[in-house]
Chains A and B, each alone.
Chain A
Amino acid sequence: MKALCWNAKNDVRVETVPDPKILNPRDAILKITTTAICGSDLHLLDGYIPTMKPGDILGHEFMGEVVELGSEVKNLAKGDRVVVPFNIACGNCWYCKKKLWSCCDNSNPSPDLAETLYGGPPSALFGYSHMFGGYAGGQAQYVRVPFADVGPIKVPDGLPDEKVIFLTDIFPTGYMAVENCNVQKGDTIAIWGAGPVGQFAARSAFLLGAEQVVVMDDVPERLQLARDAGATTVDISQEYVHDKLMDLTAGRGPDGCVDCVGLEAHGATLDHWYDMAKVKIGLATDRTHALRQTINSVRKGGTVSIPGVYGGFLDKFPLGAAFAKGVTFKMGQTHTHNYLKPLLDRVQNGEIDPSFVITHTLPLDQAPHGYEIFRAKKDNCIKIVLKPD
């Protein structure tokens, strides 16, 4: 089959590789009909995530048709059309039983490094480094899905791929990030980053009853897309974020601040250039400009929610401000499994059409080009879906 392989930093290629096989009785094999490039895949391309190995197949947003089943998978049948969550969960451990799927104890076959680095290994992910299990991803014609009796959700034939593919990651990720802010009547939710997750966070905030949604970015077409959803936008290259947010909330500050940027933040301020310099010479691993602003801006007793990916150590982290204001932090990989059914219902009810975010549809062969334009935000690129055939 054809698959998008990571070979080195800044080097991804479509190669012909062996087809996947059933390796465990709880596996399934899917023929992929639609897959996508995620903003977090760019961290892999840029070499920010350790333990990638040359030849690793990328991709954690995918859906397709079941073509083969292990003997223990009883809830699916060949021919079923399914969407697969990006994190892999066993469904049996204490964490899965508590619905903390992204903390699954059992899905990661190589948790040693994560255990050493983080003090406890999180669940495995598709196509996202060996620290997170090293599972082959779904930017390919076929994929092996472990614990296929737990993750995949069947989708009705009437809904096109484009409306359901994002249940794999970015829709639940944006949704849970806002849900973590515990939205109350009259709340303002401020969102840093108008990439795909930020877009879904903005729409989810309205779905969850926010009064006002403010989105920060510096890419005009992305700000426009957020305005289309009814959000107020702040161009960070033109305005002071903190001042603007205080003005929009008459001095209260946003009730919930959502960092949809993560470890590769851009900014026009002094601390951003400080972060850039430290990361370049290896004194820090993550650039945290966006996160600092969330803490500074959030109201007293408010919530900072972090769906953006962080990997290592932060510098000049304003914990004093967070402490003084009694901020609640919520973060982590999305417990995707919890959101598949409720969000599929919302799509079916017509409350949201997730395909709004797609700007490019490319054949799998052109995936490397897709990574390039997505990273450079060229050609007004916001979200790319790939078609393997």
Chain B
Amino acid sequence: MSTIQDTVRGYLRSNDSAVKGDKNVGETERLISAAAGTLLLKLGLHHRGLSGLAGIGLGAALIKRGYSGQCDLYQYLGVSATQPASPKSYFDHGIHVKSAVTVDKPADELYAFWRKFENLPRFMGHLKSVTVLDDKTSRWVANGPMNSDVQWTAEIINDVPGELIAWRSLAGAQVDNAGSVRFLAAPGGRGTEVRVNLDYIPPGRSVGKWVAKLFGEEPSQQIHQDLRKFKQLMETGVVATINGQSKGSKLD
């Protein structure tokens, strides 16, 4: 397990350049920052008292953030939207989850299905779609809280046919994430052990962990359920379901 994680993290480390003075806010976010800052500044100027003053202060800070592309808070948190998330961010603010399942099919078959990223939404409950852009990169759309979409572009950073796939999100991801899946022969003809590791940084960083829990999203449970569906799909060709079955009127 550690070897894959080390590979991923090592790769991330080599790209770590979220250092002081660099721009660390993405283009879209800069525009929004500047616009929101202008609005707050206007409102602040029309209000007397403490709230007006606060509006002016925050508005000015947002305009500066939009204009310069630098965010002091992001700086403090070690966040950059123009570079892939740094290893330090993953270590300091990320959530690490892992899960494993044994599937009674050969590794090659399982690898081939997973490697076609378009297939992932068939068993990953939170994914809406994955569109492959080229050999390395793909566009992922997931369900966010309160019916919102969360999107990012991912690139493959390690790919050994029949054995492993590792990926990470690129700069500007709404949720920075990196993951790997390994396919290993299970003992005594029991099929293939499928082992998944995921690292992600929820929006709002460490605060986000609490928010995510508040919304009832339990990442380790989620990946466990996804792997179970993967197993069902691979072994039986279908995902077991009761959605849409007959029921009495008292059932919700």
Interface size on B, residues (CB 8 A): 27
CB–CB A56/B248 < 8 A: yes
Within the complex, the shortest CB–CB distance from A186 to chain B, in Å, comes to: 38
Question: How many Å lie between the Cα of A54 and that of B250 in the bound state?
Answer: 5
Q: A55-B251, A94-B104, A111-B228 are known contacts. Are A3 and B246 too (CB-CB below 8 A)?
A: yes
B236 part of interface (Cβ distance < 8 Å): yes
Count CB-based A-B contacts (< 8 Å). Answer: 106
Measured in the bound complex, the distance between the Cα atoms of B238 and A146 in whole Å is 10
Smallest CB-CB separation from A11: which chain B residue?
B250
Set of chain B residues within 8 Å of A55, measured between Cβ atoms: 247-252
Q: Is B191 an interface residue (CB 8 A)?
A: yes
Q: Mark A1-36, 1 if CB is under 8 A from B, else 0.
A: 101011100000101011111011110000000000
The docked-state distance in angstroms from the alpha carbon of A86 to that of B252 is: 25
Produce 1/0 per residue, B101-121, CB < 8 A to A. Answer: 010100000000000000000
Q: Say what secondary structure dominates the interface of chain A.
A: loop
A25-B237, A92-B235, A94-B191 known; A57-B244 Cβ under 8 A: no
- A26 and B238 contact, Cβ closer than 8 Å, known pairs A15-B248, A18-B246: yes
Chain B 11-40 interface mask (CB, 8 Å, partner A; 1/0): 000000000000000000000000000000
- Distance, CA A72 to CA B228, complexed state (A): 21
Please state if A23 and B246 are interface contacts (CB–CB under 8 Å): no
Partner of B251, one of A56, A94, A124: A56
Q: Are B242 and A93 in contact (CB under 8 A)?
A: no
Kindly report which residue of chain A lies nearest to residue B229, judged by CB atoms.
A109
Residue pair A17, B241 in contact (C-beta under 8 Å): no
Establish whether residues A53 and B251, one from each chain, have CB atoms under 8 Å apart when the complex forms: yes
Residues of chain B within 8 A (CB-CB) of A25 are: 237-238
Contacts of B191 in A (CB 8 A): 94
Quote the shortest CB–CB distance from B146 to chain A (angstroms): 24
B207: interface (CB < 8 Å): no
Of residues 99 through 129 on chain A, the ones whose CB sits less than 8 Å from some CB of chain B are 105-112, 124
Chain B 210-252 interface 0/1 with A at a Cβ cutoff of 8 Å (1 = within): 0000000000010001001001100111111111111111111
Q: What would 11 A/B residue contacts be, using CB atoms closer than 8 Å?
A: A17-B248, A17-B249, A21-B245, A53-B251, A90-B235, A91-B236, A93-B231, A93-B235, A94-B104, A135-B245, A142-B246
Q: Which 6 A-B pairs have the closest CB atoms?
A: A55-B251, A5-B248, A55-B248, A54-B250, A55-B250, A109-B240
Chain B positions within 8 Å of A, measured between CB atoms, are 102, 104, 190-191, 221, 225, 228, 231-232, 235-252
